[in-house]
């Protein structure tokens, strides 16, 4: 029985050998490596010999391997039946942290209210009263929508980056797919190498369908009404921000008409209001309240990962059952 070996330090990462050989793969730097255990089935031995001979740096070689077939298959069967092991992401990788709160606060809008900055009020008290009304009706009333915006930012940047499937190295789900595919290839290579026969595999044998479960899709597609209600209960009242409403005045020349004689012009004070400081303080208070009420929503990430692992395990069991049947037929 022949075993394929890669001589360390000799591969030039040309990639030629991996084009048509299921026993080889490239690492992150393009260097070729053998998919363990590297046993070459008799059916593909000539093809592998040709691949070895074409290597421009002689990085590949075949080595005689003396194997007790019965013992090797028994060990393989035992390995295939072992439960899957998981290295789950830390919950802190997707938790809603205080630092996130500060980042999301900085991205909240700071809109101008109707008539803000307009010198149209005849007294300071009237400008202040108009400012309070504008703050209540145009700024504070947006608390629900802004809560959803903050949670959308959290889901997109923290939660999704860890718990949603993405074909990016380091993504837990993507790495899990690749890890299990390599385990399956290793099992198939060893089975074919030990028996000298080709395994009959369905076309999607090396494909895992589970990526994102219905759970994560549901929480992404629907607003978090429970959180919005909690925020509304805990957010301070509009009056807490009134001290931050500022007024200003300017002199204006006003034409005064008279019954008799020419019109005259008089200097009168006009007043305006500004909500800038009130909006800044409101955004800060809202972001803090959303964080306090919503930081436990990171539990959704743990639920999704558990559901993913459960579904992947079922797929894995189905593939292993197929391989065990193939082992019986081939040995």
- Quote the pLDDT of residue 287: 94
- Quote the pLDDT of residue 223: 60
Quick one: average pLDDT of 48-58?
91
Quick one: average pLDDT of 159-168?
88
Cβ-proximal residues to 143 (8 Å cutoff; 6+ apart), any chain: 231, 232, 235, 286
Range in 100-104, 159-163, 258-262 with the lowest mean pLDDT: 258-262
Cβ-proximal residues to 98 (8 Å cutoff; 6+ apart), any chain: 291
For residue 66, give the nearest of 186, 194, 191 by alpha carbon: 194
- Quote the pLDDT of residue 211: 93
**Residue scoring higher pLDDT (116 or 265):** 116
| 65 confidence band (pLDDT: 50, 70, 90) | confident
- Quote the pLDDT of residue 76: 92
pLDDT per residue over 225-253, tens digit each?
Answer: 778 888 989 999 999 999 999 999 998 87
CATH topology (fold) of 1-66: Alpha-Beta Plaits (3.30.70)
**pLDDT at residue 8 is higher than 70:** yes
For residue 67, give the nearest of 196, 188, 194, 189 by alpha carbon: 194
| 74 confidence band (pLDDT: 50, 70, 90) | very high
- Quote the pLDDT of residue 257: 82
Range in 135-144, 224-233, 243-252, 284-293 with the lowest mean pLDDT: 224-233
- Answer whether 155's CB lies under 8 Å from 300's CB: no
CA-CA distance, 63 to 71, in Å (whole number)?
A: 20
- Quote the pLDDT of residue 221: 64
CA-CA distance, 17 to 13, in Å (whole number)?
A: 9
**Residue scoring higher pLDDT (224 or 129):** 129
Helix and strand numbers (H, E) in the chain are 11, 7
- Answer whether 12's CB lies under 8 Å from 57's CB: yes
Comma-separated ranges of CATH 3.30.70.20 domains in the chain: 1-66
- Quote the pLDDT of residue 197: 84
- Quote the pLDDT of residue 222: 65
| 326 confidence band (pLDDT: 50, 70, 90) | very high
For residue 212, give the nearest of 164, 247, 272 by alpha carbon: 164
CA-CA distance, 236 to 9, in Å (whole number)?
A: 65
Whole-model pTM: value is 0.69
């Amino acid at each position: 029985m022949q075993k394929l070996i890669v001589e360390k330090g000799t591969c030039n990462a040309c990639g030629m050998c991996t084009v048509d050989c299921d026993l080889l793969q490239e690492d992150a730097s393009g260097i070729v490596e053998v998919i363990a255990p590297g046993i070459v089935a008799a059916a593909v031995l000539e093809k592998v010999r040709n691949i070895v001979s074409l290597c421009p740096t002689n990085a590949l070689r075949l080595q005689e391997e003396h194997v007790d077939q019965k013992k090797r298959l028994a060990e393989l069967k035992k390995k295939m039946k072992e439960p899957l092991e998981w290295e789950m992401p830390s919950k802190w990788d997707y938790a809603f942290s205080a630092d996130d709160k500060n980042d999301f606060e900085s991205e909240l809008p700071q809109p101008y209210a109707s008539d803000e900055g307009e010198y149209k009020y005849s007294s300071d008290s009237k400008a202040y009263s108009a400012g309070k009304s504008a703050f209540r009706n145009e700024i504070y009333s947006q608390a629900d929508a802004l809560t959803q915006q903050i949670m959308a930012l959290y889901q997109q940047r923290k939660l999704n980056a860890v718990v949603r499937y993405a074909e990016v190295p380091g993504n837990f789900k993507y790495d899990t797919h690749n890890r299990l595919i390599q385990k399956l290839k290793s099992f198939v290579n060893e089975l074919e190498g030990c028996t000298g026969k080709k395994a009959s595999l369905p076309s999607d044998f090396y494909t895992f369908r589970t990526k994102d479960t219905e759970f994560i899709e549901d929480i992404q597609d629907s607003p978090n009404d429970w959180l919005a209600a909690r925020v509304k209960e805990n957010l301070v009242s509009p009056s807490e921000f009134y001290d931050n409403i500022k007024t200003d005045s300017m002199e204006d020349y006003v034409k005064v008409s008279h019954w008799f004689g020419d019109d005259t012009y008089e200097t009168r004070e006009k007043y305006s209001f500004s909500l800038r400081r009130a909006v800044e303080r409101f955004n800060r208070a809202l972001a803090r309240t959303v964080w306090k009420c919503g930081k436990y929503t990171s539990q959704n990430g743990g639920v999704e990962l558990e559901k993913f692992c459960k579904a992947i395990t079922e797929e894995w069991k189905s593939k292993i059952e197929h391989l065990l049947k193939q082992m019986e037929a081939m040995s």
